[in-house]
Amino acid sequence: MTAPGMHPPSVPARAAKGLVLFVCCAVVIVPFITVVSTSLATREQVTRSGGMVFLPDEVSFAAYQAILSGGVVTRATMVSLFVTITGTALSLAATTLLAYGLSRRGSFAAKPFLMIVLFALLFTPGIIPAYLMVKSLGLIDTYWSLILPVMINAFNVIILRAFFMDLPEEVIDSARIDGAGDLAILWRIVLPLSKGVLAVVALFYAVSYWNAFFAALLYLNDISMWPLQLVLRTYVVNQTQVGVDQLGVAGADLPPQEAVQMAILVLSIIPILVVYPFVQRHFTKGVLIGAVKG
């Protein structure tokens, strides 16, 4: 049954919606298939197709074997994993503590700190002030330069604060009557009730750390410390040739340049594809936090 005044869409309308959905899916799926197929193509197929292969006739894992056998790509992958895991853990902990403090009534200087967070949300420092600050702290050529300047995101603080404020006050008050302190309430009551929104915020941070390359370009002068995304930008965007010394394989066994570039690209998106399905169901809840009152 349909609601009063509502009529089911006509056949042409449904066909038009299906066509638009099909086109949108094709725009996303076809390039992805092309990237994966090119990374699995042989030199003959890449040469015959002129660079990009849609569906390879023969599957070859030479590009993946080359980038994973040692050299700068493997090292860059380990760097990205370290920065992402460490940064996400520290950012989630700091954001949770700040948001919980701002959400509690009677917290010391809660309103001034909230104004600072909102100011940071609306206005961001420029490249030169940020670089001078990182340099003055002695963080140049250290991995902390990729974590500390962006450890707390104002938008994520607002999301967590809105969720914490919607938690039932009766539950927190009863725990306080039983003698629980603020940290005990946060650890034993608030965090178990906030698994969904924490998963969303953690994914936001993880994607941000994993995809970041500009900070590494500014603060890391040692190429051996570069994360995977900066290496990917150097190989693909700047069209830098991947050499024998970089991949650690013999020159005769070097796979085609296009296959290596696409293999690095696939390697860079695999972690997001693996993690995203587990937190997808929390996205709607996380986005709508604070949007509906009452």
CB atoms within 10 A of CB 90: 16
Please give the Cα distance from 271 to 176 (Å, whole number): 41
Please give the Cα distance from 136 to 118 (Å, whole number): 26
Q: Which residues of 190-227 are buried (b: 16+ CB within 10 A; e: fewer)?
A: beeebebbbbbbbbbbbbbbbbbbebbebbbeeeebbb
Instruction: Identify the helix (H) or strand (E) that includes residue 40.
Output: none
Dihedral of CA atoms 12, 16, 21, 23 in degrees, nearest 10, equals: 140
Please give the Cα distance from 191 to 174 (Å, whole number): 16
Give the per-residue pLDDT at 244: 43
Give the per-residue pLDDT at 137: 92
Give the per-residue pLDDT at 104: 84
Residues 6 or more apart in contact with residue 3 via CB below 8 angstroms: none
Give the per-residue pLDDT at 243: 47
Give the per-residue pLDDT at 242: 46
Domain extent listing, the chain: 10-60, 61-294
Mean pLDDT by 10 residues, the chain (294 residues): 62 88 91 88 83 82 80 85 94 94 84 88 86 92 93 91 87 83 86 87 91 91 88 71 48 70 85 77 58 47
Give the per-residue pLDDT at 95: 95
Q: Which residue has the tokens 């860079």?
A: 268
Single pTM value for the model: 0.80
Please give the Cα distance from 80 to 125 (Å, whole number): 24
Q: Is CATH 1.10.3720.10 the right assignment for the domain spanning 61-294?
A: yes
